């Protein structure tokens, strides 16, 4: 039994308890990467560092034992600074993309690899729902967008970029599900692409929504600008589906901005008109580039959503790890296990450059928590790209491994599987020559791996 | 010894003030007592002869020349701690030490020193020899134990210390060769004879591997508390004629660099640690004004970086980042923020690494930054004040040249045309900056800038 103070909170823990256990009892949340209950402490990532005030020593909370009379600091500036620096080191070593380059380029951040995987798997309506969710006006955009995404497509380095725009243009209609009603109402001033995207996104999140505009028809400026490429019925149908989803369109009437602000829980201003400044008023500017208008609308809705739920708007500012340019000698390794040469469909040509664990990855979560904005300066040469390995149902992407040792320990407990090889900066996880790993063990390793290094091939995390 | 109890032996070592010579300087008697009091039906003594530090070879010398001292030390430690099994863990790259210790162990076994009744007591003890696993980290006690258990040589967090939970989970005394070799001397001559030498907290003598820019190098044994200047000047014979003492790097690659201005520092555990260096393995490298501090930091760090076991993040990644920054500085590719970043990385590696390797690896860089920051700044501005970093210097020949052609014959790159009796010239593009011409010119006409 030990009695100690964690951030000045007194706690009592049983014999053998670690500082991590004691902190949990004191309600202090300590970030970890290399710790799981089943594998115990590896003491490798050093992200869980805390300060023992008595000795002044920095200790990994996962393995340091709680001792009687200890005074432990888990969140002072020095501790937070060391965690941040240590995370920066892991990110400097990290060779992986959180988001695919095409998605990063797409102004509306369409989850392109996710959509293409659904398509090539035959789930056309699922793919259509993704397009609708991310693009709001998929049919409109595929006629008016210059497809910058295709310029970033890595497949171009092997043969030709994936025809991303043509793929999503071929999709039919698909409506994502609305979240449960929140009882809140969002008012949107301006019924252009930005305003309606804000409205649609707010509806999806479960809010009621009213859209106000003086003009009698929605999206009038796009209609004029793209009269050539964009048949009116296409845009009308997309506006109609937003209305059908529940948007109340109040068009062709003078807008009383102050009145809207006082009657709605949150207001998104999506027109040039000056709007009252208030805590519940957000902006979503129209942009000359239609896809950017959509992006602005979604961002405005996210900000309003965060306000309504009393949370911080994180989603739009997540840390993004990027590999950067492939060196000529790396192109083979990058693609060797991703290329599907006999792809039967265009969508099947996608290399899947995104991360299967973009949401659950603890490294990315901690980077966000410690205010790291990517991409980080590595201060050293980027480690070379190593080919993805296929372990049955699981993909192993060595560049994303943080050498935490969890999968190695799980393998040891199961009597074989993954091991460490090499040392220093060349430490790597591998299946030893002639070694095997069962599907079950591979799945458990993927589940426990804190990053996207081991991920279930069929896994999709983006909501 | 035959009359002494375990407590007597520990008390004796306690009074002598002996501290571990393996680096950290932990009080030996305290460690012995910990092992003695730790419960366990089996207890081990490991003699740490892994000596992985480049340039240090005192343990090798002891093992090769005086193996019996070490074995005797282990026997005495066995009585004191109640240990039943001993292991001599010797670096595999020391084949002579291995064969001499093996022979000595056989001799001792044959003479009945091991077995069921060592030193006339009812205690069992025997010693086996094991060869090191070939990496610097294997000298760190928890990694050393891992290799003995057949695991990868990676350290684990201490506590638990080996004294409580060591080899196969049993209480284990890990002691350095030099420490153990002192023990029979102390028993024979009494603790006071030992304690009389040295300073208040650092008793006895210490062996250093004196090297670098001194006239006489080699292994030296000095009383603790001898000053840096005394070692350099009186024992080493000072730096070469016309050169100036600049600094000494004490403690090997994990130690720190002490500037000439602190040369009156007494060499003992506390003073060294306070100055940012450490006793370490006893490396003692003397630098003169032609040594570049940035290049020396790079050199020492290149060793620890290669030897990082790779287990924990700060040491695995941080040492590599630091090394690349230092390489850039030496190659004249440094940028404005490099020094600040280097310092931040160094602090993180020092504070947040798991084991002693990472926690000490930044010492040369941090002490160099502390005492010679202007040299780092100069490198950012494209200048190497010691005129050592090749990318930052040019060689040229002054009018004083007598046209002897020695430089032209010396130059391996053909950068100097043979022009007897004329003033020679160096082709800066071909020049590889080896300094050969500088060294052979009989009239000092070659200039470095
Ligand atoms: C990276 C590293 C390398 C080490 N190498 C050695 C070594 O070669 N020999 C040694 O005696 N101690 C070495 N040590 C120190 C040991 O961990 C341990 O503290 C020492 O053997 C204890 O002996 P002592 O009490 O006699 O000093 C090393 C420590 C570290 C962190
Ligand atoms: S692959 Fe293994 S060692 Fe690497 S991060 Fe995942 S669980 Fe950790
Ligand atoms: S500090 Fe370096 S040598 Fe020690 S555990 Fe960490 S990586 Fe390994």
CA torsion sign, A433 to A436 to A439 to A442?
A: negative
The partner residue sitting opposite A65, judged by closest CB among B159, B341, B344, is B159
Given 3.30.43.10, 3.30.70.20, 3.40.50.620, 3.10.20.740, which CATH number is that of A2-75? 3.10.20.740
Contact B154, B309 (CB under 8 A): yes
Task: Find out whether the beta carbon of A454 lies less than 6 Å from any atom of ligand 2.
Answer: yes
CATH superfamily label, B6-195: NADH-ubiquinone oxidoreductase 51kDa subunit (3.40.50.11540)
- Asked if the model's pLDDT at residue A340 lies above 80, the reply is no
**Separation CA A147–CA A417 (nearest Å):** 44
Fold assignment, A185-309: Rossmann fold (3.40.50)
Contact check, Cβ <8 Å, A402/B313: yes
Q: Is the CB of A400 under 6 A from ligand 2?
A: no
B320 to chain A, any CB pair closer than 8 A? The answer is yes
**Check: CATH 3.30.70 for A380-456?**
yes
Q: How does residue B127 score in pLDDT terms, banded at 50, 70 and 90? A: very high
The beta-strand segments (E) located in A252-328 are 266-269, 281-283
Q: Is B313's pLDDT higher than 80? A: yes
What is the predicted pLDDT for the residue at B55? 84
Min Cα separation B154/chain A (Å): 10
* CA B334 distance to own-chain centroid: 29
Given the candidates 1.10.10.10, 1.20.1440.230, 1.20.1630.10, 1.10.8.100, the CATH classification of the domain at B293-380 is 1.20.1440.230
Residue A8: the pLDDT is 93
CATH number belonging to domain B393-449: 3.30.70.20
Is the Cβ–Cβ distance between B109 and B126 less than 8 Å?
Answer: yes
Residues of A in contact with B52 (CB under 8 A): none
Read off the DSSP letter of residue A366. Answer: H
Q: How remote is the CA of residue B305 from the centroid of ligand 3, in Å?
A: 10
* Residues forming CATH 3.30.70 domain(s) in chain A: 380-456
User: What was the pLDDT predicted at A460?
Assistant: 83
Residue A276 has pLDDT above 80, yes or no: no
Q: Which of B141, B142, B308, B350 to probe ligand 3 with, by most ligand atoms within 8 A of CB?
A: B308
- Tally Cβ neighbours within 10 Å of residue A393: 14
pLDDT digits (tens, 9 = 90+) for A230-272: 899 999 999 999 999 999 999 999 888 888 999 999 999 998 7
Tokens of A354: 């995104």
Domain residue extents for chain B: 6-195, 205-288, 293-380, 393-449
B324 vs A93: CB contact, 8 Å cut-off? no
* Residue extent(s) of CATH 3.40.50.720 domains in chain A: 185-309
Count of all residues that appear for chain B in the document = 449
A195: helix, strand or coil: helix
Q: What is the pLDDT of residue A316?
A: 62
Q: Which residues of B316-345 are buried (b: 16+ CB within 10 A; e: fewer)?
A: bbbbbbbbbbbbbbbebebeeebbebbbbb
Answer yes or no: is pLDDT of A61 > 90: yes
CA atoms within 13 A on the CB side of B417: 7
* Lowest mean per-residue pLDDT among A41-45, B111-115, B293-297, B302-306: B111-115
What is the length of chain A? 463
* pLDDT value at residue B449: 83
pLDDT at B234: 95
Pair B284, B208: CB distance under 8 Å: yes
Contact with chain A for residue B354, Cβ under 8 A: yes
Omega within 30 of 0 (cis) for the link into A375 = yes
Q: Tell me the percentage of chain A whose pLDDT exceeds 90.
A: 78
Residue A427 has pLDDT above 90, yes or no: yes
pLDDT of A435-451, one tens digit each?
899 999 999 999 999 99
B333-386 pLDDT tens trace: 999 899 999 999 999 999 999 999 999 999 999 999 999 999 999 999 999 998
Average pLDDT over residues A50-54: 95
Q: How far is the CA of B356 from the centre of ligand 3 (A)?
A: 7
- Which pTM was predicted? 0.91
Reported ipTM: the value is 0.90
Is the model's pLDDT at A341 over the cut of 70?
no
What mean pLDDT comes out for the span A191-213? 95
Residues of B in contact with A58 (CB under 8 A): 351-352
Look at residue A463 and tell me whether its pLDDT is greater than 70: no
Q: Is A63 on the interface with B (CB under 8 A)?
A: yes
Q: What angle do CA A330, A335, A338 make, to 5 degrees?
A: 155
* DSSP code per residue over A111-167: -HHHHHHHHHTT-HHHHHHHHHHHHSSHHHHHHH---THHHH-GGGGTS----HHHH
Give the integer Cα–Cα distance in Å for A300 and A108.
13
Residue B53 has pLDDT above 90, yes or no: no
Q: Give chain A's mean pLDDT.
A: 92
The CATH fold assigned to B205-288 is Ubiquitin-like (UB roll) (3.10.20)
Terminal CA-CA length for chain B: 66
Please enumerate in sequence order all residues whose Cβ is within 8 A of that of A116, keeping only pairs 6 or more positions apart, or say none.
A127, A162, A164, A167, A347, A348, A350
């Amino acid at each position: 039994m030990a009695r100690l103070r964690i951030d000045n909170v007194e706690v009592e823990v049983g014999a053998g308890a670690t500082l991590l256990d004691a902190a949990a009892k004191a309600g202090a949340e300590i970030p970890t990467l290399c710790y799981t209950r089943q594998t115990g402490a590896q003491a490798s990532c050093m992200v869980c560092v805390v300060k023992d005030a008595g000795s002044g020593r920095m200790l990994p909370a996962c393995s340091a034992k709680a001792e009687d009379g200890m005074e432990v600091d888990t969140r002072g500036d020095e501790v937070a600074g060391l965690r941040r620096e240590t995370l920066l080191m892991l990110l400097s070593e990290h060779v992986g993309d959180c988001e695919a380059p095409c998605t990063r380029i797409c102004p509306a951040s369409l989850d392109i690899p996710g959509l293409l995987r659904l398509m090539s798997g035959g789930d056309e309506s699922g793919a259509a729902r993704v397009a609708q969710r991310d693009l709001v006006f998929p049919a409109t955009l595929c006629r008016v967008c210059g497809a910058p995404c295709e310029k970033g497509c890595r497949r171009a380095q092997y043969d030709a970029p994936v025809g991303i725009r043509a793929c999503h243009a071929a999709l039919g209609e698909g409506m994502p599900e609305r979240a449960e009603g929140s009882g809140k109402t969002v008012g949107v001033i301006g019924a252009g692409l930005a305003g309606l995207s804000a409205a649609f996104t707010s509806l999806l999140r479960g809010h009621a929504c009213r859209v106000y505009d003086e003009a009698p028809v929605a999206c009038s400026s796009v209609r004029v600008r793209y009269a050539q490429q964009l048949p009116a019925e296409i845009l009308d149908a997309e506006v109609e589906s937003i209305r059908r989803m529940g948007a109340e369109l109040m068009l062709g009437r003078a807008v009383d901005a102050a009145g809207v602000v006082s009657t709605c829980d949150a207001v998104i201003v999506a027109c040039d008109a000056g709007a009252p400044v208030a805590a519940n008023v957000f902006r979503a500017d129209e942009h000359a580039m239609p896809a950017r208008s959509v992006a602005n609308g979604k961002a405005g809705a996210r900000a309003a959503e965060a306000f309504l739920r009393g949370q911080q708007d994180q989603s739009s500012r997540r840390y993004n790890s990027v590999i950067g340019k492939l060196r000529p000698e790396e192109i083979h390794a990058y693609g060797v296990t991703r290329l599907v040469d006999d792809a039967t469909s265009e969508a099947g040509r996608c290399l899947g450059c995104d991360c299967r664990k973009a949401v659950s990855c603890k490294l990315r979560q901690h980077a966000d928590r410690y205010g790291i904005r990517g991409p980080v300066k590595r201060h050293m040469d980027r480690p070379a790209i190593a080919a993805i390995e296929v372990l049955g149902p699981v993909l192993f992407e060595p560049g994303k491994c943080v050498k935490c040792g969890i999968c190695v320990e799980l393998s040891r407990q199961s009597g074989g599987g993954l091991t460490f090889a090499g040392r220093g900066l060349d430490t790597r996880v591998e299946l030893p020559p002639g070694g095997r790993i069962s599907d079950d063990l591979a799945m458990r390793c993927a589940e426990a791996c804190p990053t996207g290094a081991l991920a279930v091939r069929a896994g999709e995390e983006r909501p | 010894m035959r009359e002494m109890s375990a407590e007597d032996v520990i008390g004796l070592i306690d009074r002598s003030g002996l501290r571990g010579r393996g680096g950290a300087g932990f009080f030996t008697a305290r460690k012995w007592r910990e092992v003695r009091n730790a419960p366990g039906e089996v207890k081990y003594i490991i003699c740490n002869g892994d000596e992985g530090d480049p340039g240090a070879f005192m343990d090798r010398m002891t093992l090769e020349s005086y193996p019996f001292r070490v074995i005797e030390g282990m026997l005495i430690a066995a009585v004191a701690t109640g240990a039943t099994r001993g292991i001599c863990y010797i670096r595999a790259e020391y084949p002579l030490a291995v064969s001499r210790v093996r022979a000595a162990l056989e001799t001792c076994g044959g003479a009945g020193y091991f077995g069921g009744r060592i030193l006339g007591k009812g205690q069992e003890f025997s010693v086996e020899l094991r060869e090191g696993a070939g990496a610097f980290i294997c000298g760190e006690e928890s990694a050393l134990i891992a290799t003995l258990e057949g695991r990868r040589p990676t350290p684990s967090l201490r506590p638990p210390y080996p004294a409580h939970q060591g080899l196969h989970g049993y209480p284990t005394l890990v002691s350095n060769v030099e420490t153990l070799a002192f023990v029979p001397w102390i028993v024979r001559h009494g603790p006071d004879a030992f304690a009389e030498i040295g300073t208040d907290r650092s008793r006895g003598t210490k062996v250093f591997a004196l090297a670098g820019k001194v006239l006489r190098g080699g292994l030296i044994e000095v009383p603790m508390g001898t000053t840096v200047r005394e070692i350099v000047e009186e024992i080493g014979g000072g730096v070469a004629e016309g050169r100036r003492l600049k600094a000494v790097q004490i403690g090997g690659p994990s130690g720190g660099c002490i500037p000439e201005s602190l040369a009156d520092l007494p060499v003992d555990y506390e003073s060294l640690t306070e100055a940012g260096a450490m006793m370490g393995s006893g490396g003692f490298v003397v630098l003169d004004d032609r040594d570049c501090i940035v290049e020396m930091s790079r050199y020492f760090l290149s060793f620890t970086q290669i030897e990082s076991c790779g287990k924990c993040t700060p040491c695995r990644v941080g040492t590599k980042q630091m090394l690349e920054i230092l390489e850039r500085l030496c190659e004249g590719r440094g940028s404005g923020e490099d020094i600040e970043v280097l310092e931040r990385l160094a602090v993180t590696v020092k504070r947040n690494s798991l084991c002693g390797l990472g926690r000490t690896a930044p010492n040369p860089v941090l002490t160099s930054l502390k005492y010679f920051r202007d040299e780092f700044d100069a490198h950012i501005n494209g200048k190497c004040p010691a005129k050592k970093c090749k990318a930052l210097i040019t060689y040229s020949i002054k009018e004083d040249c007598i046209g002897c052609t020695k430089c032209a014959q010396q130059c391996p790159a053909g950068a100097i045309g043979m022009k007897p009796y004329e003033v020679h010239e160096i082709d800066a593009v071909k020049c590889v900056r080896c300094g050969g011409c500088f060294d052979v010119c009989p009239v000092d006409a070659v200039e470095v800038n």
